[in-house]
Structure 1
């Protein structure tokens, strides 16, 4: 390319990146996360009718919760990517598992976004899983917008919820809308920047976008009376005590813009979508594993943050989700996998909208692309075009708390069993461990939470035709064993064992913390390290 051509390409990439908003929705289970995800898509007019979690009368299945187990249980157990246009803006929305047992999946998703929407239940406020996920956002410096949901149901006072944000997580709220009417008697919201009263009108079952009526402050006071006055006074009280909106405080993640609504009725959702377009960070240069910024206009690069099989039952193909970090992606280009140094052909690439997919020809920084039949890719791999090579930091693996030996119920299905176990390990559904004592034929599945085992066995049966028997192991304490030469010290004990993880890490596991301490007293030369999230 000539210098002029390169400059033009760089300008195109920069302009396209400015159009992108890539964010995740985080919450505790049952706060309404999947419902909000659909409501956002509904207001962007990319779906014509909203559904909700299976089991809510008369509603269709959700767009993002596409796995059979998710629809049956009414929870998200895997992350989902939805890309759609809203005006001139390209939205990349990552819906995340709310259940604590799937924290690893959510943590990986958070590595691929530029901001997050923290969804709170109006009756429950900050809940344990929300706190954990917010800690990850804070660690990564991810700006957070807070949406207090379910205001159409009985709940807590708005000022109490605001106090909780400040006191429990040190994130002062900056309200941009304020509810008119207490929780359970939702009249609409006061738009604190325009001074208007936005009154919502329900639609049948909340299946279509709620109607909105905008009244001036004077008209709202004449019609709303005491409720409008109370809302304005509460909001002004909070603003006077440090809650005035300041975009810089949002950008440095020291305060959170705050909105109120009811996702199931589509109340307040358009305001959230407009705020994301206006305020959410655009893609910027991302640091590589050496800490060097990879500028947006440099040649194409991306990292794989999720691998998923079985989204298309007809083909059972494997999709690797990758966040584009720099350059322009064009379908058909041959890129390099920095982990293996081998080329990877991008012949089959798709834009993902929940379970629905369509062929994608180009993508830009901030976009999430789905690489189909990507059996050579693993979570954490970096893809790049040209030289020099680039590699982004790896993604975390967490200390497992549950262990079980997996065996096929029918030995005649051993081939399907091996293939399924390898696939689940590559996707990060569970960690697959091996042991010198047990041999390769008896892999050990390790999980952060027990529901991961349910997902693994369900998928082995329904995707690979292999019913699996799990023999749970009694281990409760785990450490990293840095010196392979010391493996025999641990393996000789009755209450401990050493497992090898796919990345080569050795895990020393013990039935009780007491067994660990006793062995360390007996063998002071034994070096064991805490197992923290690495990558």
Structure 2
């Protein structure tokens, strides 16, 4: 696996969620479709790549944060899969401290749940830009728009749908991309080759309504887009994408996408959204710390020519290799 040396094409992200929202399943599919693993594991079978502890395999939940790296379209995506259970909230907070961006996974039936609120507040504490993935769109009772409503009302966030689903529950088969004006349709559950095409005829009216709403919300965060919007000038997809990225990094907007990870639908567009809208280390303010000898407060920028700086956020003991320390490198 070749990793990029272009810092602007690195994404340091974490997956966070309430327990059973499907977070580890989403992570597993991300690893599979990026070629990081060659066989999809299952949470129920205890065979996922990220839940490696025996207790995690037995209980079917994530207990400790696990880290890995994947490649997608020339981007290096460093991933931390965090616990969803309320008993391991401190583990989530330690991980969020070193992330540049986050993917918050929600159940399409339940929407925001208690632990969703907790991890959202933790992400707010560290100013982590994030996007939302509405998972389990194939379940009975799945409602994409209701789930977004719970994000607005319970989290007091500013979610913006950048996709709309094609079908719901057992009729869910794909998504419409509101930014690039195209559709992704999966014909089977392999998820390997989604068919890209125009917006389905039956969704043209919904597409126009939700795309207009998306542009309006983006315009509220960007003066140039607002000017064009008010003067009814054409706004290009590239301009929309750039403004949406700036608003996401500035924590003014939270893009929302959807899918069903268990059925292998929606993962590739999620990866595209991670690379398009979540920040690189260059988009994050310099880290502030103290000189180890003098105690003087100093800043470090993400530059290989800066002195080395890092933050250790996790220590594990392994029976074969001993103590293992995970740390985030900020410079050098």
Please indicate the TM-score interval, normalised by the length of the shorter structure: 0.7 to 0.9
Residue 93 of structure 1: aligned partner: 79
Deviation at 1:15, TM superposition (A): 5.5
Range with greater deviation from structure 2 (148-157 or 114-123): 148-157
Secondary structure of the corresponding residue to residue 44 of structure 2: coil
In structure 1, distance between residues paired with 2:75 and 2:183: 27
In structure 1, distance between residues paired with 2:256 and 2:116: 16
Residue 268 of structure 1: aligned partner: 266
Q: Deviations over 1:39-88 (max 9, x none)?
A: 11111112122111134xxxx70000001111111100010001122232
Deviation at 1:165, TM superposition (A): 1.6
| 2:49 aligned with 1:44 | no
| 2:160 aligned with 1:174 | yes
Question: Compared with structure 1, are the counterparts of its residues 65 and 19 closer, same or farther at alpha carbon in structure 2 (3 Å cutoff)?
Answer: same
Q: Deviations over 1:419-473 (max 9, x none)?
A: xxxxxxxxxxxxxxxxxxxxxxxxxxxxxxxxxxxxxxxxxxxxxxxxxxxxxxx
Question: Compared with structure 1, are the counterparts of its residues 238 and 291 closer, same or farther at alpha carbon in structure 2 (3 Å cutoff)?
Answer: farther
Residue 229 of structure 2: aligned partner: none
In structure 2, distance between residues paired with 1:175 and 1:293: 36
Deviation at 1:101, TM superposition (A): 0.6
Secondary structure of the corresponding residue to residue 186 of structure 2: strand
Q: 1:249 aligns with which of 247, 250, 256?
A: 247
Q: Judge conservation of contact 1:173–1:255 (CA < 8 Å) in 2.
A: yes
Residue 33 of structure 1: aligned partner: 23
Residue 326 of structure 1: aligned partner: 331
Radius of gyration: which is bigger? 1
In structure 2, distance between residues paired with 1:22 and 1:200: 28
Deviation at 1:301, TM superposition (A): 1.6
Q: 1:107 aligns with which of 93, 97, 101?
A: 93
Report matched runs for 1:376-525 at 5 Å.
Answer: none
| 2:317 aligned with 1:309 | yes
Residue 236 of structure 2: aligned partner: none
Residue 65 of structure 2: aligned partner: 79
In structure 2, distance between residues paired with 1:94 and 1:150: 21
Q: Judge conservation of contact 1:172–1:243 (CA < 8 Å) in 2.
A: no
Q: Judge conservation of contact 1:261–1:269 (CA < 8 Å) in 2.
A: yes
In structure 2, distance between residues paired with 1:276 and 1:134: 18
Q: Judge conservation of contact 1:159–1:234 (CA < 8 Å) in 2.
A: no
Secondary structure of the corresponding residue to residue 15 of structure 2: strand
Secondary structure of the corresponding residue to residue 61 of structure 1: coil
Structure 2: stretches of 5+ with no match in the other structure? 220-239, 291-295
In structure 2, distance between residues paired with 1:209 and 1:187: 11
Structure 1: stretches of 5+ with no match in the other structure? 1-13, 328-535
Secondary structure of the corresponding residue to residue 211 of structure 1: coil
Deviation at 1:277, TM superposition (A): 1.6
Residue 232 of structure 2: aligned partner: none
TM-score (norm 1): 0.52
Residue 295 of structure 1: aligned partner: 301
Q: Deviations over 1:471-507 (max 9, x none)?
A: xxxxxxxxxxxxxxxxxxxxxxxxxxxxxxxxxxxxx
Residue 135 of structure 2: aligned partner: 149
Deviation at 1:316, TM superposition (A): 5.0
Q: Judge conservation of contact 1:77–1:102 (CA < 8 Å) in 2.
A: yes
Q: Judge conservation of contact 2:163–2:256 (CA < 8 Å) in 1.
A: yes
Deviation at 1:179, TM superposition (A): 0.3
| 2:198 aligned with 1:212 | no
Residue 186 of structure 1: aligned partner: 172
Q: Which has the higher contact order (CA 8 A, sep 6+)?
A: 2
Q: Judge conservation of contact 1:151–1:262 (CA < 8 Å) in 2.
A: yes
In structure 1, distance between residues paired with 2:215 and 2:74: 35
In the alignment of these two chains, the number of paired residues is 296
